[in-house]
Amino acid sequence: MSYIEVQYPAEKAAFYKLLKEQAALYTGEESAQTAVLANAASVLAQAFPEANWVGFYLIEGEELVLGPFQGKPAVSRIGYGKGVCGTAWREDRSQVVEEVSCFAGHIACDCNTHSEIVIPLRRADGRMWGVLDMDSVLPGHFTEADRAGLEDIVPLLDRGEGENPVLRALHERKSVRTYTGEPVTGAEKEAILAAACAAPTAGNQQLYTILDITDQAVKDALAVSCDNQPFIAKASAVFVFCADCQKWYDAFRSGGCDPRLPGAGDLMLAVTDCAIAAQNAVTAAESLGLGSCYIGDIMERCEVHRELLHLPDYVFPAVMLVIGRPTRQQRERPKPRRCALEHIVHENAYRVMDGGELREMLACQAGERPYEEWLAAFCARKYQSDFSREMTRSVEAYLKAFGGER
Ligand SMILES: Cc1cc2nc3c(=O)[nH]c(=O)nc-3n(C[C@H](O)[C@H](O)[C@H](O)COP(=O)(O)O)c2cc1C
């Protein structure tokens, strides 16, 4: 489509009416996200001749990465909370800056810039996926009317529906701990359990047995025994994924083989099998609009759980999954942030990280709190906690059975 010059009126309402029409005209029929943003940057640059930079930064992990733009070359990556764009991301709201030199932490790209406006780009569900960033050579160029006008236009630019739906579901999933009370149907449960069993499994052995806890009294007992987490009792579906080294051992024996006793390696393989199957169940639940949460505390209280769930020696309850329909608050709650990939992925071999890198890696978890204070509290609450010590004691009790060869 060839561009037809338009004259933008000075009056804001009329200006934004025309700008919205222009944005829709030059992006509306395109599904490719990059093409949409590129033409949007051009339309905006035409409408704001005093703007010396108009473009987009898109969220990738812990950074905003440069997207399509009009103007001089710009910084290609911006950290969470850095500069005006990173601040818009952290504060989850638009920023209108009258004079950038007065903005603490401003990232200077063009010394001619005086004012700036940054508008979050959001998916239909409210999640931010990037920002629109505009710089102007005029001080105080952008106003609240511009903020409102641009916030009204940017939803036109989202082509999120065209994303890979599997990746999207993986990124959107978060643990859900409050449920509406509407039950998970039998068909949904079956679909979740079938998906779990479709997961990869070592030697196609399915070294797990899934306990479907339907008895409310057992759910209530688990809510107490798993470190007093009452939401367990309120979940519609509760599954305990047991690492099962018993059934093959018994099959070998009853089939006339002379099997060795299950050992630590067998258990680790079965735990891996369990975790993979459970994660398939999580993803299946997510695809059905259900929310789930793992409960690691099922590994605690060996003696109590063996009795409650009738676990034989070579069966270890590796993970519990509780599932229900998420409340609105849970759907809208932000997902906890993850560490940047550069710290999580080491090339070819393990790289021991020094204190500086560890601090950098965990800074996103500390958030606004001073790092040392946050770390000390986390250490006390998780690593040094009674439940963590009980987990080690309990797992050691389970391990006693896995003596191996005899
Ligand atoms: C092995 C495992 C055990 C967990 N145990 C619990 C638990 O006992 N209680 C709980 O509320 N959440 C539990 N979680 C959920 C984590 O807290 C959650 O996955 C984490 O905070 C990241 O948040 P997200 O799942 O919303 O992305 C567990 C998760 C895993 C993978």
Yes or no: say if 163 and 302 are a contact pair by the CB < 8 Å rule. no
Domain limits for position 243: 167-335
Band the pLDDT of 264: cuts 50, 70, 90: very high
Q: Per-residue pLDDT for 107 more than 80?
A: no
Question: Is there a single domain that holds both residue 192 and residue 321?
Answer: yes
Band the pLDDT of 251: cuts 50, 70, 90: very high
Ligand 1 binding site (Cβ under 6 Å of any ligand atom): 174-175, 177, 229, 293-297, 319, 335-336
Q: Per-residue pLDDT for 120 more than 70?
A: yes
* pLDDT at residue 31 in the model: 80
Q: Which of 335, 366, 398 is the last residue of a domain?
A: 335
- Distance from the CA of 354 to the center of ligand 1, in angstroms? 27
Residue with tokens 């997902």: 335
Q: What percent of the chain has pLDDT over 70?
A: 98
The answer for residues whose C-beta is within 8 angstroms of residue 201's C-beta and 6 or more apart is: 207, 208, 273, 276, 277
Q: Average pLDDT, whole number, for the chain?
A: 93
Q: What percent of the chain has pLDDT over 90?
A: 81
For the segment 166-182, the average pLDDT, to the nearest whole number, is 90
- Distance from the CA of 314 to the center of ligand 1, in angstroms? 26
Question: Is there a single domain that holds both residue 142 and residue 274?
Answer: no
Yes or no: say if 179 and 324 are a contact pair by the CB < 8 Å rule. yes
* pLDDT at residue 6 in the model: 93
For the segment 88-102, the average pLDDT, to the nearest whole number, is 91
DSSP assignments along 73-135, one per residue: ---SEEETT-HHHHHHHHHTS-EEES-GGGSTT---S-TT--EEEEEEEE-TTS-EEEEEEEE
* pLDDT at residue 245 in the model: 98
From 272, 294, 316, the mutation candidate for ligand 1 (largest count of ligand atoms within 8 A of CB) is 294
* pLDDT at residue 163 in the model: 60
- Here the CATH number for the domain that contains residue 53 is 3.30.450.40
* pLDDT at residue 162 in the model: 56
- Distance from the CA of 295 to the center of ligand 1, in angstroms? 7
Question: Is there a single domain that holds both residue 234 and residue 273?
Answer: yes
For atom 1 of ligand 1, the residue with the nearest CA is 296
More confident residue, 163 or 95: 95
For atom 31 of ligand 1, the residue with the nearest CA is 294
Q: Which of 188-192, 347-351, 399-403 has the lowest mean pLDDT?
A: 399-403
Q: Which of 161, 184, 199 is the last residue of a domain?
A: 161
Residue 58 maps to a domain: yes
- Distance from the CA of 291 to the center of ligand 1, in angstroms? 12
* pLDDT at residue 123 in the model: 81
For atom 27 of ligand 1, the residue with the nearest CA is 174
Q: Per-residue pLDDT for 391 more than 70?
A: yes
- Distance from the CA of 277 to the center of ligand 1, in angstroms? 16
Question: Is there a single domain that holds both residue 34 and residue 82?
Answer: yes
For the segment 104-131, the average pLDDT, to the nearest whole number, is 85
Question: Is there a single domain that holds both residue 315 and residue 187?
Answer: yes
Yes or no: say if 281 and 373 are a contact pair by the CB < 8 Å rule. no
Of ligand 1's atoms, which has the minimum distance to the CA of residue 275? 1
Residue 308 maps to a domain: yes
Which residue type is seen at 28? G
- Here the CATH number for the domain that contains residue 235 is 3.40.109.10
Residue 109 maps to a domain: yes
- Distance from the CA of 335 to the center of ligand 1, in angstroms? 12
Residue 184 maps to a domain: yes
For atom 14 of ligand 1, the residue with the nearest CA is 294
- Distance from the CA of 188 to the center of ligand 1, in angstroms? 22
- Distance from the CA of 234 to the center of ligand 1, in angstroms? 17
CA distance 51 to 210: 60
* pLDDT at residue 364 in the model: 82
Residue 116 maps to a domain: yes
Question: Is there a single domain that holds both residue 200 and residue 326?
Answer: yes
Residue 347 maps to a domain: no
Band the pLDDT of 127: cuts 50, 70, 90: confident
Q: Per-residue pLDDT for 168 more than 80?
A: no
For the record, the structure tokens of 282 come out as 């999580």
Secondary structure of residue 272 in the 3-state scheme: helix
Q: Per-residue pLDDT for 201 more than 70?
A: yes
For atom 30 of ligand 1, the residue with the nearest CA is 294
Q: Which of 161, 178, 202 is the last residue of a domain?
A: 161
For atom 17 of ligand 1, the residue with the nearest CA is 175
Of ligand 1's atoms, which has the minimum distance to the CA of residue 319? 1
- What is the CB neighbour count within 10 angstroms for residue 82? 18
Residue 148 maps to a domain: yes
Residue-wise pLDDT tens digits, 316-368: 999 999 999 999 888 878 788 888 888 999 999 999 999 999 999 998 888 88
* pLDDT at residue 278 in the model: 98
For atom 18 of ligand 1, the residue with the nearest CA is 175
- What is the CB neighbour count within 10 angstroms for residue 111? 7
Band the pLDDT of 406: cuts 50, 70, 90: low
Question: Is there a single domain that holds both residue 37 and residue 183?
Answer: no
The answer for residues whose C-beta is within 8 angstroms of residue 369's C-beta and 6 or more apart is: none
For the segment 187-207, the average pLDDT, to the nearest whole number, is 98
Q: Per-residue pLDDT for 152 more than 60?
A: yes
Q: Per-residue pLDDT for 161 more than 60?
A: no
Question: Is there a single domain that holds both residue 228 and residue 249?
Answer: yes
Task: Return the bridge partners of 117, or none.
Answer: 96, 134
Question: Is there a single domain that holds both residue 134 and residue 228?
Answer: no
Yes or no: say if 241 and 208 are a contact pair by the CB < 8 Å rule. yes
Question: Is there a single domain that holds both residue 102 and residue 189?
Answer: no
Of ligand 1's atoms, which has the minimum distance to the CA of residue 226? 8
What length does the chain have? 406
For the record, the structure tokens of 243 come out as 């690492």
Overall domain count for the chain: 2
